[in-house]
Amino acid sequence: MTSDNSTLKEDAREGLSACQASTPNLPPLPPLARNARPLSSQADDDLLAASRTLRANHEWHIFTHKKADGDALGSANALFQMGINSGRSVKWFSPDKKLPEGYSYLPHFSEHTSAETCSFSDDNVLYVFLDCANETRSVGGFREGINSLNIDHHEDNSHYALMNCVDGKASSTCELLFRLFTLGGWTITKTIAECLYTGLFTDSGSFSFSNTSPLTHSVAGELIKLGADPGHMTDLITQNKTVNGLHLWALAMSRVRTFGDNGMFAATYITLKDFADTGADNTETEGLPAFLMSLMGVKFAVTLTEYPEGRVRASFRSREGSPFGAGEIARLCGGGGHERASGANLDGTLTECIARIENLLLTKYHECSRAHQ
């Protein structure tokens, strides 16, 4: 985790005691379980500096990435609510014209503003990017040097903001926000705890992905103590499918094929016509790539979704046993993300992209096999 503002880091250290004193009932950062990944003093310094930056600014504009997922939405709603509770003026923007309805239980879901570009010209505003690996994944118009804060857990984050709090080992941006709030002395209410639990739960794959650490479980425990009921939250997060969405999934499932040695690769696709025929929208594809990983023997899965104007979105997932990670393949396609969950935008027809991706996976697999002979 790195920060680009040493002065604020010093201010954060000096101001920590005063911040904590203002909220004496806030629980301390949970102790690390045995064998947990240790938090460095540098990581703590960066989180404290980010906290100090948030306190120093009265107006926050929050930005999340296109095709927002549970972590982006959970972190945005948590920070939005924290801003309201602390007397800030808060707005939230993203390129998405529509957010996934399954997350409409989040408190500020309806206050999201869709925008393609922003001027980023107001020096009195702190522009906060959450869960965005790079500035191109969110609203356009970003300029270097503006009053900006980047909080993220993607390993390939490009550190584009004036201040960057990035930890590629964290399970989620919501995990980072919990640490920031706790170290900085902010009061975490039940509502905020539920928002943070949403991102923690979804980006860790219900606490099953390889990014789930002992610290992740410790943070989840603290959020439960603060009022996030795990049974209730699981229902909210998982029982959110629509009939139209299930019909869309049925079409995708009917096309699933496995290939490669012992069927280690799985692939399917969704066409523009599928959306029209089922009445589903593109937010309802969330979770589909991960579902393919439930197939016996599958180590790597890809879902290709057709979009207007000749665009195809590839979503990759991988697990232990795959000769390469999802992130590696995404980067070869000009995309990015996590090592086990990533994506890329492709040019060409859906048929062309299907053939290209399958050929890439098989070629890469044979290269890895030869390298280990």
pLDDT by residue (tens digit) across 136-150? 999 999 999 999 999
**Residue 14 to residues 8, 151, 195, 328: CA-CA distances in angstroms?**
10, 22, 30, 41
Instruction: Specify the pLDDT at position 310.
Output: 84
Same domain, 29 and 76: yes
Instruction: Reply yes or no on whether the pLDDT at 371 is more than 90.
Output: no
Same domain, 226 and 277: no
Distance in angstroms between the alpha carbons of the first and the last residue of the chain: 37
In a domain, 27, yes or no: yes
Instruction: Reply yes or no on whether the pLDDT at 211 is more than 80.
Output: yes
* DSSP codes joined into one string, 179-202: HHHHHHT----HHHHHHHHHHHHH
Same domain, 231 and 276: no
| 29-43, 95-109, 291-305: least confident range | 29-43
In a domain, 100, yes or no: yes
306 membership: H or E segment, kind and range: strand 300-307
Same domain, 262 and 205: no
Domain limits for position 270: 244-371
User: Alpha helices of 34-102 — where are they, by DSSP H?
Assistant: 41-56, 70-85
Same domain, 269 and 326: yes
- Residue 339's identity, in one-letter code, is E
Instruction: Reply yes or no on whether the pLDDT at 3 is more than 50.
Output: no
In a domain, 329, yes or no: yes
In a domain, 181, yes or no: yes
Same domain, 256 and 219: no
Q: Crossing angle, helix 173-184 and helix 41-56, to 10 degrees?
A: 80
Confidence label for 13 from pLDDT (cuts 50, 70 and 90): very low
In a domain, 320, yes or no: yes
Query: Could you say which of 238, 268, 288 is where a domain stops?
Result: 238
In a domain, 182, yes or no: yes
User: Into how many domains does the chain fold?
Assistant: 2
pLDDT by residue (tens digit) across 340-366? 899 999 999 999 999 999 999 999 999
Query: Could you say which of 189, 214, 238 is where a domain stops?
Result: 238
CA dihedral 93, 95, 97, 103 (to 10 degrees): -60
CB environment 192-220: b (16+ within 10 A), e (fewer): bbbbbbbbbbbbbbeeebebbbebbbbbb
Same domain, 191 and 329: no
Report the distance separating Cα 136 and Cα 74, nearest Å: 21
Hey, which residues does 341 pair with through a beta bridge?
317
pLDDT by residue (tens digit) across 282-337? 999 999 999 999 999 999 999 999 998 889 999 999 998 999 999 999 999 999 88
Confidence label for 209 from pLDDT (cuts 50, 70 and 90): confident
**Percent of residues, the chain, with pLDDT higher than 90:** 81
Residue with tokens 């995404």: 330
Residue 71 Rama label (left phi>0; alpha psi -120 to 50; beta) = alpha
Query: Could you say which of 218, 238, 258 is where a domain stops?
Result: 238
Instruction: Reply yes or no on whether the pLDDT at 6 is more than 70.
Output: no
Hey, which residues does 126 pair with through a beta bridge?
60
Residue with tokens 């599928």: 274
DSSP 117: B
In a domain, 1, yes or no: no
Same domain, 51 and 130: yes
Phi, psi of 30 (to 5 degrees): -60, 140
Average the pLDDT over 212-234 and give the result: 97
User: Alpha helices of the chain — where are they, by DSSP H?
Assistant: 6-22, 41-56, 70-85, 173-184, 190-203, 214-225, 230-238, 243-254, 272-278, 288-292, 326-332, 350-371
Same domain, 77 and 180: yes
Report the distance separating Cα 209 and Cα 267, nearest Å: 20
Report the distance separating Cα 262 and Cα 371, nearest Å: 19
Same domain, 89 and 185: yes
pLDDT by residue (tens digit) across 38-81? 445 567 889 999 999 999 999 999 999 999 999 999 999 999 99
In a 13 Å sphere around the CA of 12, the CA atoms on its Cβ side amount to 26
Residue with tokens 């002979």: 373
pTM: 0.84
| Average pLDDT in the chain | 89
